[in-house]
Structure 1
Amino acid sequence: MKMTSLKMKKLLDDRLGSDAFKTSYNRDQDTYRIEWKDTGQGITITLPNVISKYNERGDSAIDDLEAHVTEALRIMNENHQLSGKEQQIYPVIRATSFPTETKNGNKLITKEHTAETRVFYALDLGKSYQLIDESMLEGEGWTQERIDEMAMFNVRSLNNDCTKDRVADNDFYFVAKQDGYDASRILNEAFLEEMLINAKGELAVAVPHQDVLIFADIQTKQGYDILAQMTMKFFAEGQIPITSLPFIYENKTLEPIFILAKQRPEK
Structure 2
Amino acid sequence: MKMTIAKLRKMLEERLSQEERKINYDREKEELRIENKVTGKGITVSLPPMLAKWEREKEKAIDEICYYVEEALTVIKEHAQITGNEKRIFPVIRSTSFPTETADGKRLLYDEHTAETRVYYAIDLGKSYQLIDRSVMESEQLNESAIKEIALFNLRSLQNPIKKDTVRDNDFYFLNTNDGYDASRILNDTFLKDMKQKINGTMTISVPHQDVLIIADIKNNAGYDILAQMSMSFFTNGRVPITSLSFYYEDGKLEPIFILAKNPPTRKK
Amino acid at match of 2:189: E
Match of 1:6 in 2: none
- Give 1:245 shift: 0.1
Question: What are the residue-to-residue correspondences of 1:1-267 with 2, within 5 Å?
Answer: 84-265=84-265
CA contact (8 A) 1:100 1:108 kept: yes
Q: Partners of 1:263 and 1:201 in 2: how far apart?
A: 18
Partners of 1:235 and 1:266 lie apart in 2 by 20
Contact 1:223 1:263 in 2 (8 A): no
Q: 1:144, CA displacement in angstroms?
A: 1.5
Structure 1 residue 252, shift from structure 2 partner: 1.0
The alpha carbon displacement at 1:265 in A equals: 3.2
Contact 1:176–1:211 (Cα < 8 Å) also in 2: yes
Partner residue, 2:75: none
Q: Once the 2 structures are TM-superposed, how far is the Cα of residue 84 of structure 1 from its aligned partner? A: 2.9
State the 1:266 CA deviation: 6.2
Deviation at 1:112, TM superposition (A): 1.1
5+ residue gaps, structure 1, are 1-82
Q: 1 CA distance for matches of 2:220 and 2:234? A: 22
User: Hey, what's the Cα distance between the residues in 2 that align with 1:134 and 1:220?
Assistant: 46
Give me the whole-angstrom Cα distance separating, in 2, the residues matched to 1:215 and 1:247.
9
More contact order relative to length (CA 8 Å, sep ≥ 6): 1
Q: State the identity %.
A: 61
Q: CA RMSD in A?
A: 1.3
Matched letter for residue 248 of structure 2: I
Whether the 8 Å CA contact 2:117–2:243 is kept in 1: the answer is yes
Distance (whole Å) between structure 2 residues aligned to residue 260 and residue 224 of structure 1: 8
Describe the superposition over 1:196-241 as per-residue Cα deviations: whole angstroms up to 9, x where unpaired: 1111111100000000000001111111110011000000000110
Aligned twin of 1:60: none
Structure 1 residue aligned with 2:40:
none
* Alpha-carbon separation, structure 1, partners of 2:155 and 2:206: 17
Task: Give deviations 1:49-103, integer Å, cap 9, x for gaps.
Answer: xxxxxxxxxxxxxxxxxxxxxxxxxxxxxxxxxx831110000000000000001
How far 1:254 sits from its partner (Å)?
0.7
Structure 2 CA distance for aligned equivalents of residues 216 and 142 of structure 1: 39
Residue 258 of structure 2 contacts residue 266 of structure 2 at CA under 8 Å; is this kept in 1? Answer: no
Please give the TM-score of this superposition, normalised by the length of structure 2. 0.67
Measured after TM superposition, the shift of residue 143 of structure 1 is 1.8
What is the distance in 2 between the residues matched to 1:229 and 1:265? 13
Runs of 4+ off more than 4 Å: none
- The number of residues matched between the two structures is 185
Q: Return the letter of the residue paired with 1:127.
A: K
**Letter in structure 2 aligned against 1:139:** S
Contact 1:222 1:263 in 2 (8 A): no
Output the amino acid matched with 1:260.
L
The letter of the residue matching 1:246 is: S
One-letter amino acid matched to 2:179: D
Please tell me whether the aligned partners of residues 228 and 261 of structure 2 are also in contact (alpha carbons under 8 angstroms). Answer: no
Instruction: Provide the rounded CA distance (Å) in 2 between the counterparts of 1:174 and 1:161.
Output: 8
Corresponding residue for residue 16 of structure 1: none
TM-score, L = length of structure 1: 0.67
AA matched with 1:204: T
User: Which 5+ residue runs of structure 2 have no aligned equivalent?
Assistant: 1-82
State the alpha-carbon separation in 1 of the partners of residues 250 and 203 from structure 2: 8
